[in-house]
Structure 1
Amino acid sequence: MDIAWDFFSSPMNLAEITPQDMTFDVTSPNMVNAKMYPGLIITYEISPLFGIKLNWVTEITHVKDKEYFIDEQRFGPFAFWHHQHHFEKADGGVVMHDTLHYSIGWGPIGAMANALIVNNKINEIFNFRYQKVEELFGKF
């Protein structure tokens, strides 16, 4: 559990659990040895769809050591993004639960884009993440 928590506590490890085709890059200065804490602002450059590069800024709003943390988008592609990461010790590894609430905005056009593209892409990202967590920290 400690190893998994330490891994997720470093913003620099986010790229390892993000699909490579998203070209995820942390752009915040001085993040190499940074550890997560409430109030931490992290900036990224990411290509979530069609290779289009976007800037994304998140804030870590809550942290309970070795149990959970929450990130919220401050600037980026979503109208709203609130992501909870929960961790539990389990036989042979770590159980990770994500709870995500988001909206892409844009009314009916956004709802259609979400149904046709965005929701599927988010599911792909989380499936990739769960596979990587299993590879790194054991089966859950």
Structure 2
Amino acid sequence: MPRIELKTEIKARKEIVFDLSRSIDLHKISTEQTDETAIAGRTSGLIELNEFVTWRAKHFGVYQNLTSHITEFNHPNYFVDEMKQGIFKKFRHEHHFSISDKITIMIDIFEFESPLGFLEQIANKLFLKKYMAKLLEKRNQTIKDFAESGKWKKVISTKFD
């Protein structure tokens, strides 16, 4: 099963980074290139434990639906979302948050099984793992930008002021 691990250092409070990471509204902003829209479940705001969101997005020229469910949650340290329904056989995305020298360290661990049967290994090596890593990197860069610039106030509560 392919595994993507990303580490992003963000000069912002851990609570802000955590909430940006679970913000449906920020996710929409970070995935504009795929025309991603929340169509069912939690469609705006901050997703919580046991909630789900169904996304409609265009990948590889085809619109797809994917439902993700929050299966683990420990504010503001980690949460996990797992595919409930969608194109993949399976995926699990762990989001971990810690502090080091007043910097928030955000670590993503994303594991997935593609739907391509015996072609899976070839597809993963040729394009799918890179494609998924780029999507996650774009998302993380958006979180970093919003957290460090103060734009986070546009998408999450200002309770951290």
The aligned residue for residue 99 of structure 2 is 89
**What does residue 39 of structure 2 align with?**
27
Aligned CA-pair RMSD? 2.1
Cα distance 1:91–1:132, how it changes in 2: closer, same or farther (>3 A)? farther
Match of 1:63 among 60, 69, 73: 73
Check if 1:17 corresponds to 2:30: yes
State the 1:89 CA deviation.
2.8
User: 1:35-114 maps to which residues of 2 (within 5 A)?
Assistant: 35-49=46-60, 51-91=61-101, 93-114=103-124
Counterpart Cα distance in 2 of 1:97 and 1:42: 22
Task: Please identify which structure carries the higher strand content.
Answer: 2
Instruction: Note the residue ranges of structure 2 that are not aligned, 5 or more in a row.
Output: 1-13, 149-161
Higher RCO (C-alpha under 8 Å, 6+ residues apart): 2
Query: What is the TM-score normalised by the length of structure 2?
Result: 0.74
The 2-side partners of 1:13 and 1:134 are apart by 11
Where in structure 1 are there 5+ consecutive unaligned residues?
none
Number of aligned residue pairs: 136
Q: For the residues of structure 2 that align with 1:99 and 1:82, how far apart are their CA atoms?
A: 8
Say which of 3, 15, 18 aligns to 1:5: 18
**Residues 41, 52 of structure 2: 8 Å contact kept:** no
- Secondary structure of the corresponding residue to residue 112 of structure 2: strand
> CA shift at 1:108, angstroms?
2.1
Question: 1:94 touches 1:137 (CA, 8 Å); kept in 2?
Answer: no
Q: 1:77 offset after TM fit, Å?
A: 1.3
How many angstroms apart in 1 are the aligned matches of 2:139 and 2:21?
A: 12
Partners in 1 of 2:22 and 2:67 — Cα distance?
17
Alignment partner, residue 153 of structure 2: none
Match of 1:116 among 112, 126, 145: 126
For residues 34-87 of structure 1, give each alpha carbon's deviation from its aligned partner in whole angstroms, at most 9, with x where no partner exists. Answer: x322210111101122x2110111110010000111000011110010110111
